[in-house]
Structure 1
Amino acid sequence: MTLFWRDHRLLIIVHILQAFIVGSVLFLDPGAQGSSLIYAIFLSFLLLTGYLVYRYFVLAPYYRKLSESKSGHHDFKIEGNHPLILAHNQLLAHYYNQHQAEQHQLEIRKNKQVQFMTQWVHQMKTPVSVMNLITQNEADYHEYPALRTELKRIEKGLDLALHTARFEQFEQDFRIKSVHIQSLVQQVIQDNKRLFILKELYPKIKMNKELYVSTDPKWLLFMLDQLIVNAIKYTKDKGTHLLIESDLIGDCPTLRIVDQGVGIQAADLPMIQRPFYTGDNGRKYGESTGMGLHLVYGLCEKLNITIDIQSEVGKGTTVTLQFPKS
């Protein structure tokens, strides 16, 4: 209603001014009668009122929809046969179809990029696997242990690129299963045993052996790998340990990863989930892409896992994953 009066405010003002001018002219005419003047003004306002009432009822859906659009409604089609409403619907239909066509083209290009990235990563993994086999067969060569470490870093980078590309199509690439947490943790530790040895870091496992969660094992494995590798990467003191424990807390399966690393600056903690954000540690120690924790936070949201990261500089970081009730 407010929008209707705002739209017709100028028309009403002009009509009042017109009635005042015409009335003044007739009033100054000696032959004009006062009753005729009042009657003419009355008829003029009666016609204006009839016009406004007609226009309000005909265009009421239009003004109502415009008012609703400010409150978050997104269905902009308006019911009615008034030419203004029909033109409005035609214009919206035109832009909607154009937008859908652009979205379709963008989706095609994005899918091609994901497909290219996936194929490229798989192609790169083949020579890496071959080099791994060569270094394992020639274990006596003194430079091969360092080469295997660098090959492992390449594999981690390729996995990160692959999962980053697939993350945009997560809904098409996940399966919920009953997952044994301890088995996944042991698999991640086994995959990174050379990194543990290189850092002289000892995994300390306190797992509830009967703890299962309903989630996607492939994505959870990737998340645990990112979190554990981060804990290893930013632990500089040799001879320390990495604590990984799980248990039921308030009927919710909970996993904690506690390191004795350099910790995260308090100013960086609220921003570690942003893409490409490396923070103070990433600049100081390098080797950080800023995508690992971003993907972990995104996956936790999609898998309904609550993640909490607490850290203190110089003392270490604690990552807590709380899974939904079984």
Structure 2
Amino acid sequence: MKKRKVSIFMKLFFTYLISSFAAFILFSFIFYLLFNNNLKQSFLNSMETQQEQVVQILELAYQEENKEAIISTLSIINDQEHRSIFIYDKNGQLLYRFSTLQEPIHIEEEMIYKALQGASVKEFIKDKANPLFIMASPIEANEFDFDEKVVVIALHNYFGVVNGIKGLFLLAGAITIVVTTTFLYTLSKKITAPLREMNHVAMEYAKGDFTNKVKIKSNDEIGQLGKTFNYMANELSSLDLMRKEFVANVSHDMRSPLTSINGFVGALLDGTIPKNQQKRYLYLMKDETERLIKLVNDLLDIARIEAGQVSIQPINYNLSEQIRKLIAKMEPELIKQNIDIEFQGNLDEDIEVFADQNRMDQVFGNLLQNAVNFSPEKGLVTIIINELDHNVMVFIKDQGPGIKKEELKYIWDRFFKVDKARSKKVGTGIGLSIVKHIIDLHQAKIDVKSEVGVGTTFRVTLPRFSLKKNEI
């Protein structure tokens, strides 16, 4: 059974809601306990005040020598459903009873006895139907000898007060829940809105449309994520553009030699080419075939390198001899393009480096090929080898058109080509990417300096010896 998809908005909203409700319930519980204790204390304090009023009424009645005033006055002030007043004599006999309750209230004789002994007694009787607060206290007179010795006050509207407060509290709680839910819903919508927008933009990216950008409205983690999305879009757009250019370049570079080879083969088969010129055309076909082989090898190399399937086996070998052999291999092409190579240094001196000889042959071969390709006719390519401490630096300088300063940082990228107009057959734009990957595998360094209209210089820095050899 497929699980139901729950959006992050719903998760966030319900998390906030449950947390708010839990906090509200905890607050309500604590509030109720505090309110209950405070209400009980308020009832008890109220009984003390009412006991003082009874004593004052008795004093006034004795001053006027009118005991009927006791009954009339206490009846008036006790005209409440939540209070009852009982007055006892010195023998514990009930003299007056003022109560609106139909059912009698049972007063413990022990409470009366303690009050007659001069003690004030307070009790809370937990009756489910009608809980009572009862206070029995002695009546103390300063001027008169009262027949009335004990007053008992009973408050019995505790639930009425509590229920009234509960009603207000429930109303306030309902309003709070509605307002809180609305606020949390709006807040969750606002927080998750950028995420929904990012999801929409990501779907557009998946379809290959990188023109949409995330609107950055904050500088928090979500804002930073939005900036990352936009940066990713720029990178993907750039990579997609390079990919399209690469496909176009590779198609062009493969179609041109294949078209030439196909044409030459057709001409040879038709007998259009005279026998005395057939060898020349076969060499042309060989050159075009070698171009195709190099293109395919470069593509395989970059694929293996980026997949982490290429490792290096560094050894100490003769770098000077390697450079001399590369120059010798390129001699036919140098003569064909009328370009000179100058090797500055002692040709008889051998300089060793610690590197993978085959891979470095690929590095220097690519750099020399680039220098030759971009050099003008009768141009000069200069190779310099310098030793500095434990390193060897190889400089390869050409007199080509140079590279613009803003383009230098892109020359190591896959498929990047300086000659976008393809005015010269200078490869597919992956040669320098292969060079950079190989140098990085050696943990060595390569950098470039270029000036438009003057030329370009690449510098490769390699260690002279292995670490183990240095330690020895």
TM-score tier, shorter chain, comes to 0.5 to 0.7
| Larger radius of gyration between Structure 1 and Structure 2 | 2
For 2:283 and 2:294, the matched residues in 1 are separated by 17
For 2:306 and 2:300, the matched residues in 1 are separated by 11
| Partner AA of 1:175 in structure 2 | Q
Map of 2:441 onto structure 1? 302
Map of 2:368 onto structure 1? 228
SS at match of 2:280: coil
| Partner AA of 1:229 in structure 2 | Q
| Partner AA of 1:307 in structure 2 | I
For 1:20 and 1:284, the matched residues in 2 are separated by 84
Gap regions ≥5 residues in structure 2: 1-15, 46-260, 266-275, 466-472
Which residue of the other structure, out of 445, 452, 456, is the alignment partner of 1:317? 456
After superposition, what is the alpha-carbon deviation per residue over 1:196-241, rounded to whole angstroms, capped at 9, x for unaligned? 1221111111245221001101110111111111111111x21121
SS at match of 1:142: helix
Alignment of 1:192-231 (within 5 A): 192-207=330-345, 209-231=349-371
Map of 2:296 onto structure 1? 158
| Partner AA of 2:35 in structure 1 | S
For 1:267 and 1:183, the matched residues in 2 are separated by 36
Change in Cα spacing, 1:220 to 1:170, as seen in structure 2 (3 Å) is farther
Deviation at residue 295 of structure 1 after TM alignment: 1.4
Map of 1:41 onto structure 2? none
For 2:356 and 2:420, the matched residues in 1 are separated by 30
Gap regions ≥5 residues in structure 1: 1-6, 35-127, 132-137
Percent identity for Structure 1 against Structure 2: 20
SS at match of 1:314: coil
Deviation at residue 140 of structure 1 after TM alignment: 7.2
For 2:330 and 2:313, the matched residues in 1 are separated by 25
For 1:201 and 1:296, the matched residues in 2 are separated by 23
Alignment of 1:125-204 (within 5 A): 141-168=279-306, 173-204=311-342
Which residue of the other structure, out of 26, 31, 44, is the alignment partner of 1:20? 31
Count how many residue pairs are aligned between Structure 1 and Structure 2.
Answer: 219
Map of 1:50 onto structure 2? none
Deviation at residue 14 of structure 1 after TM alignment: 4.9
Q: Note if contact 2:402-2:451 (Cα within 8 Å) is conserved in structure 1.
A: yes
Q: Note if contact 1:26-1:32 (Cα within 8 Å) is conserved in structure 2.
A: no
After superposition, what is the alpha-carbon deviation per residue over 1:160-206, rounded to whole angstroms, capped at 9, x for unaligned? 12322332465654211112112222232233333212211111112
SS at match of 1:233: helix
Q: Note if contact 1:139-1:145 (Cα within 8 Å) is conserved in structure 2.
A: no
When the two structures are superposed, what TM-score results if normalisation uses the length of structure 2?
0.41
When the two structures are superposed, what TM-score results if normalisation uses the length of structure 1?
0.58
Normalized per residue, the structure richer in helix is: 1
| Partner AA of 2:340 in structure 1 | Y
For 1:154 and 1:212, the matched residues in 2 are separated by 33
| Partner AA of 1:184 in structure 2 | Q
Q: Note if contact 1:311-1:317 (Cα within 8 Å) is conserved in structure 2.
A: yes
For 2:379 and 2:419, the matched residues in 1 are separated by 23
Change in Cα spacing, 1:314 to 1:146, as seen in structure 2 (3 Å) is farther
SS at match of 1:279: coil
| Partner AA of 1:279 in structure 2 | V
| Partner AA of 1:309 in structure 2 | V
Q: Note if contact 2:392-2:463 (Cα within 8 Å) is conserved in structure 1.
A: yes
Q: Note if contact 2:396-2:457 (Cα within 8 Å) is conserved in structure 1.
A: yes
Alignment of 1:272-311 (within 5 A): 272-281=411-420, 283-285=422-424, 287-311=426-450
Which residue of the other structure, out of 379, 400, 409, is the alignment partner of 1:240? 379
For 2:423 and 2:377, the matched residues in 1 are separated by 19
Superposed CA RMSD in Å reads 3.3
Map of 2:80 onto structure 1? none
Of the structure 1 ranges 16-25 and 287-296, higher mean CA displacement relative to structure 2 is found in 16-25
Deviation at residue 25 of structure 1 after TM alignment: 4.1
Map of 1:114 onto structure 2? none
1:269 aligns with 2:280: no
Change in Cα spacing, 1:278 to 1:307, as seen in structure 2 (3 Å) is same
For 1:313 and 1:199, the matched residues in 2 are separated by 22
